[in-house]
Amino acid sequence: MPILDGLTLFGDPATLIAALIAVFLVGLSKGGLGGAFALMGVPILSLVMSPVQAAALLLPILLMMDGISLWAWRGWFDRATLLHLLPGAVVGIALGWATAAYTSEAVVRLMVGLVALGFVARMWLARGGGRAQGQSWARGGFWGMGAGFTSFVAHAGGPPFQVYVLPLRFDPKVYTGTSVIFFAVVNLIKLGPYAALGQFDRVVLVSAFAMLPLAVVSTLLGAWIIKRMRAEVFYPLMYGMIALVGVKLVWDAVGALLG
């Protein structure tokens, strides 16, 4: 599209359409649907641009969505869970930044995918997700660090977060609100290291800003759906989403490693 050429990354219809689809699906995820939708953004954008550029474009959009989600889910969160997870997440982000030049994204995706599938298998064998677990500094630190590291390296922080939080068996609104705050903090912290690595320029930032209207609509739509979902529907949906995420991550990783 000539009017956008040079000002944004959307100089042709294919790139614009891919961006619209990716932002809509990620917005549904940020609103609360989570799971497989959250991982579709970078792969869809990678059809029309480099994966590095796709990740750089998506991060400012994620931050805009975080702001909307924080408003939509205000008042719904569990303070203890955040206290147990966020310190480890900061350590994980720092590790991701320090090892960015040496870390294989495919290996990280493979590891996260296998963790996700193993978690779902364990929950399925326990029938119905098992009994609710309590908070743990050891587990919270470990899975928080995993979420921070994989979020920085491969935008795949969801499964480690869910491994820790889903067994707590919160009300769906509390679970979603806690997730929103956790990843808003993680994404905000990631902004500095990404900028330091030279991932942003004017065209990327203008392109991200152009997606703001769709980011607002899709995020609010995701929140609207989750707020009307019962726990007996929410938890099977979340476990199903994690299984899809695990399969996709393993598939993408194996393809990249063998390609």
pTM comes to: 0.79
Secondary structure string (H, E, C) spanning the chain: CCCCECCECCCCHHHHHHHHHHHHHHHHHHHHHCHHHHHCHHHHHCCCCCHHHHHHHHHHHHHHHHHHHHHHCCCCCCHHHHHHHHHHHHHHHHHHHHCCCCCCHHHHHHHHHHHHHHHHHHHHHCCCCCCCCCCCHHHHHHHHHHHHHHHHHHCCCHHHHHHHHHHHCCCHHHHHHHHHHHHHHHHHHHHHHHHHCCCCCHHHHHHHHHCHHHHHHHHHHHHHHHHCCCHHHHHHHHHHHHHHHHHHHHHHHHHHHHC
- pLDDT of 131 reads 61
- pLDDT of 217 reads 94
- pLDDT of 34 reads 67
The mean pLDDT value for 242-255 works out to 82
pLDDT of 163 over the 60 cut: yes
- pLDDT of 6 reads 63
pLDDT of 171 over the 80 cut: yes
- pLDDT of 128 reads 52
| Domain residue spans of the chain | 13-258
Average pLDDT of the chain to the nearest whole number: 84
pLDDT tens, position by position, 71-112? 989 999 999 999 999 999 999 999 988 887 777 777 877 877
pLDDT of 147 over the 60 cut: yes
